[in-house]
Structure 1
């Protein structure tokens, strides 16, 4: 039997009652009501997960995290439940992806060959080479180059967001806001400092890296659209983005080490 949909206000009211009595019936209603949060997070991470895992696996992990959120949520902290749950559901999904993914030595070794090919062809042609030219230089199918670059890009994004999770427990593009966590002065200062560090790290990127990051995260363009704007191939956009993510991750790690 399908449960009746609740409005947002009804959901808040039911959540308030559930937090007081822990009713299993209300818990089930809330899981159904807040399931769109899980599906939204899974949809966002579909590209990051790549071939590592299935979307349904992410949803399963998200539902488990949502159930935990229902038991741990504290309205007195000031965060809306939707914000609190989205951050933690998304974090649980990324943890799951991390547990499924690892970058093998052969992939890192192949990346060095690809980088060398790009460097030599750029010097020879006085322009950015495309994936076909790199594949020809390495005498391999172009699909192998393109798939490898996508794989390394997914791994780099995952690694960068993992550092944010380790530092703050918050993993969400553009959602590092002190209002979404406890409002203690020292925590507010920490978030401001982290935002400043990230901003400085972005400014320190190369021109092309900074442009790709800006177009991808702020303008929310797809790789194909960024490639058109920059006049280069999608595979090159992917590679530039990967390098940018690695640099941002290193900047955060240096900030942590002091």
Structure 2
């Protein structure tokens, strides 16, 4: 639906894509602690949708839904970070798991087993699996985490977006699009391809096929809580590999 000036009517876009905001909020909520409220995610997502409707230019070739989904997801992540939904202790625990995985991969030259990671952390296997259950939802991958010195001195997004602009010889308006056009996409693919087969399958089912924990458990023949543990461990492996690559 267009206005008299030939632009897409904002109210029409907002109404049409409200279900998409709710769907994305539900998908994200499944990966977060119980303390996160669905309504808060939806509200943040609607702000992202409003931002997308303001910024979108239909003469650039991108579909509005694709453009809006990036803005909606970004707004939800901003909301989560602003409210610090993950406790400091849990974040530190997640980093310790990633550090253990990274150290073991360097030492062994392969992906470590759960038992090896637990031993590196000086924990029993049962305690380690319990920790994986607790840190589920504390492992959203933020590009800012991959700064030059780990403290945000040179933001990852700025550096890689700059590389993408240099490769194209021009400027761009969308940092995410610039990032995806840079070498980061290939590095992410390399990191995923280096994961154990079960981890690759789990991530594909979770993020590509968008199956829930129960459905993934049925395919892997494990419980939902076990899927949660395996997902946390797979993300820890992935983050460790990305730290090495970047």
Q: The TM-score by the shorter chain falls in which range?
A: 0.5 to 0.7
Counterpart of 2:61? 78
1:77-116 matched pairs, under 5 angstroms: 77-100=60-83, 101-105=85-89, 108=92
Aligned equivalents of 1:155, 1:108: Cα separation in 2: 10
Q: Give the match for residue 49 of structure 1.
A: 32
Establish whether residue 159 from structure 1 lines up as the match of residue 155 from structure 2: no
Specify the alignment match of 1:119 in structure 2. Answer: 115
The 5 A counterparts of 1:19-34 are 26-34=9-17
CA spacing shift, 1:56–1:198, aligned 2, 3 Å: same
Larger radius of gyration: 1
Distance 2:243 2:95 in 1: 22
Match of 2:233 among 228, 231, 243: 243
Unaligned 5+ segments in structure 2 are 101-113, 120-124, 147-155, 159-171
Looking at secondary structure, tell me which structure has more helix per residue. 1
- In structure 2, do the counterparts of structure 1 residues 80 and 48 end up closer, same or farther at CA, with 3 Å as the change threshold? same
How big is the shift at 1:218?
3.8
Aligned to 2:220: 230
Task: Name the TM-score, length of structure 2 as normaliser.
Answer: 0.62
User: Is residue 204 from structure 1 mapped to residue 194 from structure 2 by the alignment?
Assistant: yes
Q: 1:112 to 1:35 in 2, by over 3 A?
A: closer
Matched with 2:111 is: none
CA gap of 1:200–1:42, structure 2 versus 1, over 3 A, is: same
What's the CA shift string for 1:117-136, capped at 9, x where partnerless?
x638x99xxxxx7xxxx37x
Shift of 1:91: 1.1
Q: Indicate conservation of the 8 Å contact 1:43/1:55, yes or no.
A: yes
Contact 1:61 1:93 in 2 (8 A): yes
TM-score by length of structure 1 reads 0.60
SS at match of 2:23: helix
Change (3 A) 1:191 1:243: farther
Aligned length: 201
Gaps spanning 5+ residues in structure 1: where? 1-9, 20-25, 124-128, 169-181
| Aligned residues: CA RMSD | 4.1
Deviation at 1:96, TM superposition (A): 0.9
Matched, 1:217 2:207: yes
> CA–CA distance in 1 between the matches of 2:69 and 2:192?
25
